[in-house]
Homo-oligomer: A and B are copies of this chain.
Amino acid sequence: MKSLESYLPYIQKAIDEHLQNPDFAEPAGLYEPCKYILQNGGKRVRASLVLMATKLFSGEFEKALPVALAFETFHNFTLIHDDIMDKASIRRGIPTVHVKWDENTAILSGDAVMIIAYRFFEESGEYVPQLFKLLNKTALEVCEGQQYDVDLEKSSLDDSFVSEEMYIKMIELKTSVLLAACLNAGAIVGGASKEDEKKMYEIGRQIGIAFQLQDDLLDTYGNQKTFGKKIGGDIQVNKKTYLLIKALETLQGKDKDQLINLMQTNSLEESDKYSKVVALYDKANVKKQTIDKIQEYFKNAMSLVDSIQLPDERKGELTAFMNELVNRNY
């Protein structure tokens, strides 16, 4: 992401330096997988958000580097364990830890990565108690989100548990509270007021939800070239997305029954299933309903940004990021 690019070299350098610590040498069977995931880091969205938030309030983002790495490292811990649970074999273009090594290694090195995340806070001085509480709360919520995701995937489509409310709650916990905590943590280090801290948290929570809804939208309605992965993957694996839940809520009678049948089958030819499901989605007008919902969260977040008492030019980076996130077609 362009709005975050300026932070990447700082983050990469700080991670590389940290991992050269002789504490992380032996046993290699434990620390090699930790380094493997932490060094192949992707876009470093979470670390960048911490730094961006600190810069917004104090200008001096570098003092937030340990906190940024704590949240980024925590995120990587969740990826190692989630990939085991989801039986995912590729992450950021390379084999997942449990595939490259084995499940036991992935469990144990995931645990170590979580502890390494906490360790970064040792360098955060006066802010430790507040940041520590924030990470603890967020970390448990992320686990809750993962469990709700499992619970949703296990539920049948006509179960009342499968609702818009529960879906939003799940993505809020699984994805957006961590983005929210990153903006909040950066604000803490930047010396923001309590009120602005809360606003930053809420901005992260709102754009996190918008981001996930956008992800659902692009998986069905995106352009394969720009999205980078195959369109229709969620439909193919019967994933419970916002689109599906909204369509089930909107459709009635035969249409609803047909959609339920389609989204319980694995036997249909892929493109045939995709076009039949999309036809029903179109009938339920879910594309527009989803875009409207994304805009709602985006606008809420934007008005919170507006309400922060800082010169507009200071906020340019954050608003650029938010625009990128929600208007992306990738």
Check A317 for interface membership: any CB of B closer than 8 A: no
CB of A308 closer than 8 Å to a CB of B: no
When distances are taken between beta carbons in the complex, the residues of chain B under 8 Å from A129 are 122, 128
Cα distance, A148 to B26, chains bound together (Å): 9
In the A-B complex, list the 9 residue pairs whose CB atoms are closest, starting with the nearest: A30-B147, A85-B104, A27-B147, A112-B143, A115-B139, A119-B136, A29-B147, A115-B140, A81-B107
Chain A, residues 25-37, CB within 8 Å of chain B (1/0): the string is 0110110000000
Residues of B within 8 A of A150 (CB): 29, 104, 108
| Contact of A108 (CB < 8 Å), options: B118, B128, B133, B147 | B147
Nearest CB in chain B: distance from A179 CB, A = 18
Q: Please, how many angstroms separate the alpha-carbon atoms of A121 and B129 in the complex?
A: 9
Asked if A234 is an interface residue, CB under 8 A from chain B, the answer is no
* Chain A 69-87: CB-based contact to B (< 8 A → 1; otherwise 0): 0000000000001001100
Copies of this chain in the oligomer: 2
Q: Quick check: is A146 within 8 A (CB to CB) of the other chain?
A: yes
- A binding-site residues for B, Cβ under 8 Å: 23, 26-27, 29-30, 81, 84-85, 103-104, 107-112, 114-116, 118-119, 121-122, 128-129, 132-133, 136, 139-140, 143-144, 146-148, 150-151
Query: Which residues on the B side are within 8 Å of A115 (C-beta)?
Result: 136, 139-140, 143
Chain B residues with CB under 8 A of A119: 136, 140
Check if B107 sits within 8 Å of A122, measured CB to CB.
Answer: no
Using Cβ atoms and an 8 Å threshold, which residues of chain B touch A116? 140
B85 engages A107 (CB within 8 Å): yes
Q: How far is the CA of A85 from the CA of B128 in the complex (A)?
A: 33
Cβ B107 vs Cβ A143 within 8 A: no
Verify B81–A143 contact, CB threshold 8 A: no
Say yes or no: B136 contacts A108, CB within 8 Å. no
